[in-house]
């Protein structure tokens, strides 16, 4: 069975030559991180105004930036604690903006299921990330769970491409929150020792 980490390693190998070109042009990894933040914001704005085509395009650009910033940092030797912090910090906003756009779209269209599943997907994404960070701050490694950020990205991308927003967001909400509770259980087991 192919794991998420194996796919991530293969994607990084594939994108490495592109990252080397971008890095040699003097583009900093932090700039790519910030660009991804703005692409995600623009994506959310387009989604909120029911322009799913442009919303999807900018969501995809944000995802590419999210994959590229770390690779550029490694190939240029510009990894830093601040860069890692900035990436994680802005990732929370990048998680929020498209889902916020879908929540607004649901409100405008009187689609309460879209609103509900968008909000549940948001809290699931945040709880998953928070659980890992908080557990690590207390000395427990809790990276386990059914889906992580890359999987959430592709599930949401499929929702936007397919137009099956309610159906796919129901799955995203379910899996995101399931993962958050998996990490809660992991933390409980490791921190009670």
| DSSP per-residue letters across 90-115 | HHHHHHHHHHHHHHHHHHHTT-HHHH
Write out pLDDT tens, residues 36-68: 999 999 999 999 999 999 999 999 999 999 999
Domains: count for the chain: 2
Please tell me whether residues 79 and 9 are part of one structural domain. Answer: yes
91 has catalytic annotation:
yes
Burial class of 74 by CB neighbour count within 10 A (0 to 12, 13 to 18, 19+): middle
The verdict on residue 104 lying in a domain is: no
Closest CA to 71 of 122, 44, 36, 108: 36
Residues 177 and 133 in one domain: yes
Domain containing residue 116: 111-193
Which parts of 29-147 are beta strand (E)? none
Q: Are residues 147 and 181 in the same domain?
A: yes
- Same domain assignment for residues 16 and 81: yes
Residues of the chain with pLDDT under 70: 1-7, 193
Q: Which of these is catalytic: 66, 69, 91, 95? A: 91
User: What pLDDT does residue 7 have?
Assistant: 67
| Per-residue confidence (pLDDT) for residue 5, from 0 to 100 | 63
Q: What confidence score (pLDDT) does residue 184 get?
A: 95
pLDDT of residue 4: 60
Question: Both 1 and 82 in a single domain?
Answer: yes
Residue 169 included in any domain: yes
Residues 149 and 74 in one domain: no
Taking the CA atoms of the chain, what radius of gyration do you get in angstroms? Answer: 17
Which SS3 state, helix, strand or coil, does residue 146 take? coil
């Amino acid at each position: 069975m192919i794991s998420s980490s194996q796919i991530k390693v293969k994607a990084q190998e594939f994108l490495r030559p592109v990252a080397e070109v971008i890095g040699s042009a003097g583009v900093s990894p932090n700039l790519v991180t910030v660009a991804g933040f703005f692409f995600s914001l623009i994506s959310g704005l387009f989604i909120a105004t029911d322009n799913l085509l442009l919303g999807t395009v900018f969501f995809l650009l944000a995802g590419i930036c999210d994959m590229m910033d770390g690779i550029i940092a490694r190939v240029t030797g510009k990894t830093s604690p601040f860069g890692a912090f900035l990436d994680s910090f802005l990732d929370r906003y990048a998680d929020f903006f498209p889902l916020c756009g879908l929540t607004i779209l649901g409100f405008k269209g009187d689609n309460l299921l879209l609103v509900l599943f968008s909000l549940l997907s948001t809290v699931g994404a945040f709880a998953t990330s928070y659980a890992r960070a908080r557990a690590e701050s207390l000395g427990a490694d809790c990276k386990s769970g059914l889906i992580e950020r890359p999987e959430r990205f592709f599930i949401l991308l499929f929702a936007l491409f397919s137009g099956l927003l309610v159906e796919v967001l129901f799955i995203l909400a379910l899996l995101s929150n399931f993962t958050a509770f998996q990490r809660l259980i992991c933390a409980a087991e490791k921190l009670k020792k």
